[in-house]
Structure 1
């Protein structure tokens, strides 16, 4: 990879998904302009009728991405009605992969390092036909911890804050999880995770998604990769910073979240892992923070300790 000062120009097509935030959209678009993708797809959801002023914000956001100053093929998918996160994002990615075999996907709050584009280019090509690998992410949420001596490691977790992938994977995407049964999913997740509390947390999410109680698209993609025993690539340096945390965000409201606005790093030449195995401890560290597993274990064990003391007192 090029570690020099000039901006790398990507070979891959890029899908940019936007909505109603012209400020963060402009910052991310400036990084896309540096990378000068040869084909740019822009998808935008429509304004919500019950949100005052959102029509103007959506229009302003679309104007931001109209300032294309390099030679490229541009395609747009601008919705007039609001579809919501689940429908708008998943249909945009489907639209993208109907026209591209592979490519890079950025949402409006996922600020990329320039070397993110080269990272994706190289790995999309390297693993194009390797069905063990189903996802490439740019974000690293390990809070400075490195896993192995290579430039990236393998994970079972599918991070979607700046990612790249292939049509061969997305063609199996099932936004309603219609192929999977609640009666079987716990056992299958136990084959992925060795911790009871982690399995229970994911089973709860599966039920919510299956019942349509969460308006999102990404959990479904994660389950697809779990159930296909997939390996996902995570860089050992953080190449994506989520700058969208706060009150204007659809999902990430807490601006003090440790995953908010993690500083960007640039990556030099890639070194590749020798072993194709997921870093289970890295995955657990991420899930532990996201689901407060340690606290759940403590609450679970507290009555058990009392029960054990009671048994001892009765039978001593």
Structure 2
């Protein structure tokens, strides 16, 4: 098992000092020392002020932590910002744990991460470890192999993150119809392909859908610890996407210190019911006849046209407001 104090932890931050400080204080209380912090660049003076406070806290903290900081020069947003931070982190480490600044995970979950990161280092079928999945049995302390991954407290390996980046780069120029045909038949929906293309074009400011896409299309799995082993406290006006906990329908009050015996780890379900992925942006598809396939093709053309118009509008907006 990896020595806990040496386990690399990445915190993805931005402009929420109160949440960031709670996250890093919790890590210190849990005995973790090897901390990386990636901060997306500021949009305005308020962001600059808060980020300076975060950086000063990291540099002058009295928590006896080894903190490495990446402060990006410009604002990359909720897609490219995390991708940049995670890539930087995995250039420095062969594995590690990734937390957003409003997430904490239990110490026993961290212990289990340290075991699984070593045990599955060479396993090509597992490319991530998730601290929770609300669909798994909360009373059974076990581990599942699930075809989707959860971004609120997770771990992975540098080589597997690079695999995802290479795959994403390889398919970035595919059109919606080509992305649609990459999906396994049970997940083949034009709306899912539209979602992925929207992310690729930075029309949707989110990065996690593409990582789940890598899982599903490449038939990879996420080791998922049964129950709720994390706590998210960022559901408020400071959140970009999920400002209300009712929108996610997850009971974080179930967060607990779970007792998982490392010698009795059982994968009771290699494939959870397909319904488990519906909240991760991927729904199941029904049997398609020729007529429905033609409809999907027309939808792909329609979405492509809409994307083209949105990109033209975005570029015109940037050109109009560009200052020489």
Q: Which of the five TM-score ranges fits, normalised by the shorter chain?
A: 0.7 to 0.9
TM-score of the pair, normalised by structure 2: 0.76
Consecutive unaligned residues of structure 2, counting only runs of 5 or more, are 287-324
From the superposition, tell whether residues 261 and 88 of structure 1 become closer, same or farther in structure 2 (CA, over 3 Å). farther
Aligned to 1:83: 76
- Determine whether 1:248 maps to 2:243: no
Shift of 1:162: 0.8
Aligned to 1:205: 195
1:209-237 per-residue CA deviation (whole Å, 9 max, x = no partner) reads 23321122222222222222101011112
From the superposition, tell whether residues 60 and 114 of structure 1 become closer, same or farther in structure 2 (CA, over 3 Å). same
Consecutive unaligned residues of structure 1, counting only runs of 5 or more, are 2-7, 298-316
CA–CA separation in structure 1 for the residues paired with 2:179 and 2:138 = 29
Q: Name which of structure 1's ranges 20-29 and 270-279 shifts more when overlaid on structure 2.
A: 270-279
1:190-216 per-residue CA deviation (whole Å, 9 max, x = no partner) reads 34xx266xx344222122123321122
Q: Name which of structure 1's ranges 219-228 and 266-275 shifts more when overlaid on structure 2.
A: 266-275
Q: Determine which of 20, 23, 38 is the counterpart of 1:43.
A: 38
Shift of 1:266: 1.0
Aligned to 1:310: none
Aligned to 2:9: 14
DSSP 3-state at the match of 2:164: coil
CA–CA separation in structure 2 for the residues paired with 1:27 and 1:260 = 21
Aligned to 1:29: 24
From the superposition, tell whether residues 24 and 74 of structure 1 become closer, same or farther in structure 2 (CA, over 3 Å). closer
| Greater share of residues in helix | 2
Shift of 1:100: 0.5
Q: Determine which of 127, 133, 148 is the counterpart of 2:120.
A: 127
DSSP 3-state at the match of 2:228: coil
Q: Is the 8 A contact 1:38 1:73 kept in 2?
A: yes
Q: RMSD across aligned C-alpha pairs, in angstroms?
A: 3.1
Shift of 1:87: 2.0
Alignment of 1:20-169 (within 5 A): 20-49=15-44, 53-66=46-59, 68-69=61-62, 71-142=64-135, 145-146=136-137, 151-169=142-160
Aligned to 2:220: 230
CA–CA separation in structure 1 for the residues paired with 2:31 and 2:139 = 32
From the superposition, tell whether residues 134 and 285 of structure 1 become closer, same or farther in structure 2 (CA, over 3 Å). closer
Alignment of 1:302-313 (within 5 A): none
From the superposition, tell whether residues 157 and 37 of structure 1 become closer, same or farther in structure 2 (CA, over 3 Å). same
Q: Is the 8 A contact 2:104 2:230 kept in 1?
A: yes
DSSP 3-state at the match of 1:177: helix
1:232-290 per-residue CA deviation (whole Å, 9 max, x = no partner) reads 011112111221112111221224234467121112133323567221x1x41441x56
Q: Is the 8 A contact 1:84 1:215 kept in 2?
A: yes
CA–CA separation in structure 2 for the residues paired with 1:134 and 1:290 = 16
From the superposition, tell whether residues 131 and 214 of structure 1 become closer, same or farther in structure 2 (CA, over 3 Å). same
TM-score of the pair, normalised by structure 1: 0.77
CA–CA separation in structure 2 for the residues paired with 1:221 and 1:195 = 15
Aligned to 1:215: 205
From the superposition, tell whether residues 59 and 139 of structure 1 become closer, same or farther in structure 2 (CA, over 3 Å). farther
